[in-house]
Structure 1
Amino acid sequence: MSRSPDPAPAPIDGNGAGRLRLAAIGDLHVVETHRHPYRELFSRISQEADVLALCGDLTNFGKTPEAEILAEDLQACSIPVVGVLGNHDYECGQPQEVTRILHQAGMRCLEGEPIEVNGVGFAGSKGFIGGFGRYMLSAFGEAEIKTFVQASIDETLKLESSLRMLKTERTVVVLHYAPVEDTVVGEPQEIFPFLGSARLGETIDRFDGVRCVVHGHAHRGAAQGKTPRGIPVYNVAKPVLNRDLGIEFALIEV
């Protein structure tokens, strides 16, 4: 991470060719009292990157005014924007409306719908919780547990479907929840199962061409990790970038 037979996804145009400069950030948590909180940042990102990935928790409560404030600032972004929602964006029970507002402002939501930018594929989903390794929750016992686990599986299947649709040699995965335990280290160990799921990482490792994964959610987690197969995973939650790396956004060459 730098400091400073399925239908094919529709390509969109970017600013460059060859190596792609990816800016990534998550956990913006826009609130109603903010006024143009990210306009200047998005303008600067447009000068330094070819595409921007937003990794969920874009609003604080999923309220319409919060989404509209962020959408207004996104007008300052002159490069393609892709993204996923986070758990905070679901709080008011209207994630479709948040998605609609941000889509109108230019963000392409990756929830099961991959796209290509300059020959690089982008696949993503919000992801979900469930835990890692031997402590990953399994669908056993009460119906409530099975429903919970099925929600995690459904998010993984959404990501898998997106990855299968891409035919690019280079792919970036965009999530909100962590796909590996590495990047949640630093959080209280008791809440690890609520920060992500190894099912996501296992799915990613089944596909060739994935160059990196970006996610948010773990505000006190670690900045970098790897899938079992060795694919780089970057926790780009804004608090991690600001506190641990002293930067405002991640800049990754793909």
Structure 2
Amino acid sequence: MPTPKSSSHIRFAAVGDIHVRKDSGGSLRSLFAQADEAADALLLCGDLTDYGTEEEARVLVAALGAVHVPVVAVLGNHDYESGTPEIVAETLTRAGVRVLDGSVCEIEGVGIAGVKGFGGGFGRGALGAWGEPAIKLFVQEALNEAMKLEAALAKLRTRRRIALLHYAPVVGTVEGEPVEIFPFLGSSRLEDPLVRYPIDAVFHGHAHRGALQGCTLNGVPVYNVAKPLLQRSRPDAAPFFLYELPREPADASAP
């Protein structure tokens, strides 16, 4: 295990929407090397590849060779494009990446629950399960992802907890995108379990032109860490978001 970057805090470098292509390796190595130097763990918020191919996943794995801290990831919609998301996940898992899909892991006393999420819209603008079967299937997919997130959060037993998504759970972090595409950027159904369970922070991507930060109804910070957004809004900083939590005493992992 690498030496902690801080004796008092654990630091997470979070980024999504890196959209790896077959020629992306060189540029990503620099990004990952900087994240490895700054953080105790790397969080990847989906759209890890551009077309969801095994070749792209292998390029990503090669670039992750610069990373010696734990890596935790969820998939995004681009990782499903070729119809073989399981191959992307398996390729990453074989390389030691913890790929979450309704599952959890623990990094130095911090519990992490992860799902891809889905669209459907927010609040009064959320799509209802009414009418054609295709609409009902669309809404059911959003409900399924919300239930997977709830089940994952229920498994966590740590004091400190993070949720990792690709789609946005709140409207605040998609603002800046065209209003017409809000329903395809996330779903407030994903917010429901985040309100019901104690959690410190939420990270997602997908909304390249959204806002960096929002919050849930009960004030939990939600961070949009889509790489294009980070690059545009913070051109002089490395394109990842650095987040830290206090380290818990060794005997304080249970709530």
Do both proteins adopt the same fold according to a TM-score greater than 0.5, normalized to the shorter chain?
yes
Equivalence for 1:225: 214
Distance 1:174 1:37 in 2: 24
Query: Could you list the runs of 5+ residues in structure 1 that have no partner in the other structure?
Result: 1-12
Contact 1:130 1:197 in 2 (8 A): yes
The residue type paired with residue 250 of structure 1 is F
Q: Give the root-mean-square deviation of aligned CA atoms.
A: 1.2
- Match of residue 117, structure 2, among 127, 137, 140: 127
Query: 192-201 vs 139-148, which deviates more?
Result: 139-148
In structure 2, relative to structure 1, the CA distance for the partners of 1:140 and 1:105 (3 Å cut) is: same
Are 2:25 and 1:35 equivalent residues in the alignment? yes
Q: Give me the whole-angstrom Cα distance separating, in 1, the residues matched to 2:242 and 2:148.
A: 26
Deviation per residue, 1:195-246 (Å, 9 max, x gap): 00001112111001x1100000000000000001100000000011010122
* Corresponding letter in the other structure for 2:75: L
Aligned residues: 241
Q: Following the alignment from structure 1 to structure 2, what is the Cα–Cα distance between the partners of residues 165 and 20?
A: 21
Aligned-partner residue type, residue 114 of structure 2: G
Superposition deviation, residue 185 in structure 1: 0.4
Q: Within 2, Cα distance between the matches of 1:144 and 1:61?
A: 24
TM-score by length of 2: 0.91
Is the 8 Å Cα contact of residues 82 and 108 (structure 1) preserved in structure 2?
yes
Aligned runs of 1:201-240 on 2, under 5 Å? 201-208=191-198, 210-240=199-229
Alignment of structure 1 residues 22-171 onto 2, 5 Å? 22-171=12-161
- 1:250 corresponds in structure 2 to 241
Counterparts of 1:241 and 1:107, CA distance in 2 = 23
Contact map agreement 1:139 1:149 (CA 8 A) in 2: yes
Q: Shift of the alpha carbon at 1:147?
A: 0.9
> By how many angstroms is 1:37 displaced?
2.8
| CA distance, structure 1, for counterparts of residue 122 and residue 136 of structure 2 | 17
C-alpha separation in 2, matches of 1:229 and 1:15? 35
Whether the 8 Å CA contact 2:113–2:153 is kept in 1: the answer is yes
Instruction: Classify the secondary structure of the residue corresponding to 1:251.
Output: strand
- Asked if 2 retains the 8 angstrom alpha-carbon contact of 1:14 and 1:51, the reply is no
TM-score with structure 1 setting the length:
0.92
Q: 1:35 to 1:21 in 2, by over 3 A?
A: closer
The sequence identity of aligned pairs, in percent, is 51
User: Contact 2:25/2:62 (CA < 8 Å) preserved in 1?
Assistant: no
Q: Secondary structure at the match of 1:75?
A: helix
